[in-house]
Amino acid sequence: MKSVIIVAYGKGQRYGADKLSETFLDKKVLRHTVDAFYNLADEIVIVADGKWKEDFPFAKVVEGGETRTQSVRAGLKALSDKCDLVAIHDGARPFIGKGLVARLFEVASSTGSAVPCLPVTDTLFYVGDDGHPVCREDYRTVQTPQVFDRQRICDAYEQAEDDYTDDGTVYYNKWGDLSLVDGQLSNRKITYKGDIPQYRTGVGFDVHPLTSGNGIVLGGCRIDCNLHLVGHSDADVAMHAVMDALLSACGLPDIGHFFPDTDDAYKGADSTELLERVVATISSEGFHAVNVSAVIMAECPRIAPYIDEMKKRISRILDIPCDCVGISATTTEKLGIVGQGKGIAVHANALVVKN
């Protein structure tokens, strides 16, 4: 029988609030953490304040202690007698992937332990009396869940005399061995404000009429043709839709508010410069773009040859990788003003994250 102990009894002092009750993607952080073990663990024990009992009626909720070591001991005592393998996981690690959990249980079933870890990527210094750099290749950072043979980890905790921040250390001190498994970069722990990403999506739409002329600007690219897009600025309908999508994602007014067509200052304005100003605006609100996508609806001119250049221009301004900008082109099968060649319309979506 596989069990999991989720340690959620900390005070969140470094975070400055009850981080496990914070909402992320419409669910509390602790709910995300618990959900990661559905269908992977037969028993869930949550070491937490009694207030959580109503949230998790399917789990055993037990009170913890003053230290993490005491809380883990409380969780171990609450396990079913049928438990063979137990995963011990931090409640503040809601981004754990089910694939990693399954792999850890598999390794521990044959070795008695499985501890996920990551290589150190930053330069590492020892800061004792004789502070000096150390070889980072010799070190790993440790994550949870850590999975153990139930009896062996219980015996280890029974003999542990100090307080520990890590279960693998307790196990190693008793048994002298430990199985390390490649962890996940995304499996980070929420410790400080800002560790919980705040993603938001936005939608933008714009349409401009077409007349005869000597070229149009679309997605920041000049397209030579016998057409002209009508508008107060350069009528770059693609840039306008992307700008509105970004502003919408941040809960801000649309471009008509920031760049009104009644203001001569924006007559003939370069929309790439306006996009730069929108990026500065959302940045001042604490947001930056993650990715954008846009579909350009036009019967003419032919858009495909310019898509790569549009993506490069937009990615440069948004400071995101080019493959995080998606642009496609389609027709409307002769329907509507677009299908009649009387205009070009663009629908855009944006994903932003709060810094």
| Statement to judge: residues 203 and 177 lie in one domain | no
pLDDT recorded at residue 130 = 80
Q: What confidence score (pLDDT) does residue 197 get? A: 80
Looking at the fold, whether 13 and 151 belong to one and the same domain comes out as yes
| 120 lies in the same domain as 208 | no
Residue 307 near residue 314, CB atoms below 8 Å: no
Residues 178 and 209 in one domain: no
242-265, pLDDT tens digit by residue?
999 999 999 999 999 999 988 888
Last residue of a domain, one of 129, 154, 182: 182
Residue 161 makes CB contacts below 8 A (sequence gap 6+) with: none
Residue finishing a domain among 148, 182, 216: 182
Q: Which domain holds residue 130?
A: 2-182
Total number of domains in the chain: 2
Q: Does residue 109 register a pLDDT over 90?
A: yes
188 lies in a domain?
Answer: no
Write out pLDDT tens, residues 123-166: 999 888 788 888 899 899 999 999 999 999 999 999 998 899 99
Is there a domain that residue 191 lies in? no
Residue 156 pLDDT: 97
* One domain, residues 31 and 78: yes
pLDDT band at 110 (very low <50, low <70, confident <90, very high): very high
Q: 142 with 116: CB under 8 angstroms?
A: yes
Do 331 and 270 share a domain, yes or no? yes
CATH code of the domain in which 272 resides: 3.30.1330.50
**What are the residues whose beta carbons fall under 8 Å from the beta carbon of 27, sequence distance 6 or more?**
35
Instruction: Indicate whether 276 belongs to any domain.
Output: yes
- Per the structure block, which two tokens stand in for 65? 């202690």
- Please identify, among 182, 210, 240, the residue that sits at the C-terminal boundary of a domain: 182
311-342 confidence digits (pLDDT tens): 999 999 999 999 999 999 998 888 988 888 88
- C-alpha–C-alpha distance, residues 208 and 240, integer Å: 10
- pLDDT band for position 355 (cuts 50, 70, 90): low
Cβ-based neighbours of 236, under 8 Å, separated by 6 or more = 217, 218, 219, 220, 229, 271, 272
Q: What CATH code is carried by the domain that includes residue 33?
A: 3.90.550.10
Question: 106 and 223 in one domain?
Answer: no
Is residue 119 one of the residues assigned to a domain?
A: yes
Q: Are 213 and 253 contained in the same domain?
A: yes
> Do 28 and 177 belong together in one domain?
yes
Whether the CB-CB separation of 157 and 73 falls below 8 Å is answered with yes
Q: What is the pTM of this model?
A: 0.71
Residues 165 and 292 reside in one and the same domain: no
Q: Burial letters for 108-128: b for 16+ Cβ neighbours within 10 Å, e otherwise?
A: beeebbbbbbeeeeeeeeeee
State whether residue 344 is helix, strand or coil. Answer: strand
